[in-house]
């Protein structure tokens, strides 16, 4: 019969000799293989004590940015939500009132801004779409949780600390 491939192996069906029946050579071979791995460089790390360096293009937890005066950069234009393929971003816009210029950079701001991290695929499209450099993906790894509600990140969770307040401390 014509072979389909050349990978077929002929099985040796001759009766086992004494040493083969005692399984000693196979045991020694297995032990030798185990011992040889003791001296080899480990392929694993003792996480979380040891952490591997991330790739320079790693995209982690989102951050909402402020300007140099501490005002929120986001103007609630909705472009990030529009660009998001996972429909993970929701927001509500509000008008800035007189006297709130130190809080919000533009005349419109996000009164509510939420990202559902269970939907997010960390593609970075929101960051690319933002015309105000208001949202970016940081190098922080998102913490795990057993509670689904904890994965809905609100504006307060995403906003970076106000640099002005930090200086004044
Ligand atoms: S990283 Fe991608 S999936 Fe996540 S919120 Fe931004 S656009 Fe949506
Ligand atoms: S984060 Fe950027 S793109 Fe998204 S609503 Fe705010 S200003 Fe617009």
Q: Is 1 a member of any domain?
A: no
Q: Establish whether residue 79 lines the binding site of ligand 1, counting it when its CB lies within 6 angstroms of any ligand atom.
A: no
Ligand 1 midpoint to CA 54 (Å): 19
pTM, whole model, 2 decimals?
0.75
Beta strand segments in 62-122, E: 62-64, 89-95, 108-116
Tell me how many domains the chain contains: 1
Tokens of 70: 């501490």
Q: Is 160 a member of any domain?
A: yes
Q: Is 16 a member of any domain?
A: no
Q: Is 47 a member of any domain?
A: no
Q: What is the pLDDT of residues 103-150, one digit of tens each?
A: 999 999 999 999 999 999 999 999 999 999 999 999 999 999 999 999
Q: Is 89 a member of any domain?
A: yes
Q: Is 26 a member of any domain?
A: no
Q: What is the pLDDT of residues 22-73, one digit of tens each?
A: 888 899 999 999 999 998 998 899 988 998 898 999 999 999 999 999 999 9
Range of the domain at 116: 62-168
State the CATH number of the domain containing residue 109. Answer: 3.30.70.3270
Enumerate the β-bridge partners of residue 159: 64
Q: Is 24 a member of any domain?
A: no
Say what the pLDDT of residue 85 is. Answer: 97
Beta-carbon contacts of residue 36 (< 8 Å; ≥ 6 apart)? none
CA nearest ligand 2 atom 4, residue: 80
């Amino acid at each position: 019969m014509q072979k389909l491939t050349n990978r077929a192996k002929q099985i040796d069906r001759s009766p086992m000799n004494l040493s083969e029946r005692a399984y000693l050579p196979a045991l020694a071979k297995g032990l030798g293989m185990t011992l040889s791995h003791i001296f080899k460089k480990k392929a694993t790390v003792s996480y979380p004590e040891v952490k591997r360096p991330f790739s320079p293009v790693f995209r982690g937890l989102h951050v909402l940015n402020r300007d140099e005066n501490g005002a929120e950069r986001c103007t609630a234009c909705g472009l990030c939500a529009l660009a998001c393929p996972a429909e993970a971003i929701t927001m509500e816009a509000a008008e800035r009132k007189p006297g709130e210029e130190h809080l919000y950079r533009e005349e419109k701001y996000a009164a509510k801004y939420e990202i559902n991290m269970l939907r997010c695929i960390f593609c970075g499209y929101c960051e690319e779409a933002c015309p105000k450099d208001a949202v970016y993906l940081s190098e922080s790894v998102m913490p795990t949780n057993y509670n689904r509600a904890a994965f809905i990140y609100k504006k307060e969770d995403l906003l970076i600390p106000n640099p002005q307040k930090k200086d004044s401390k």
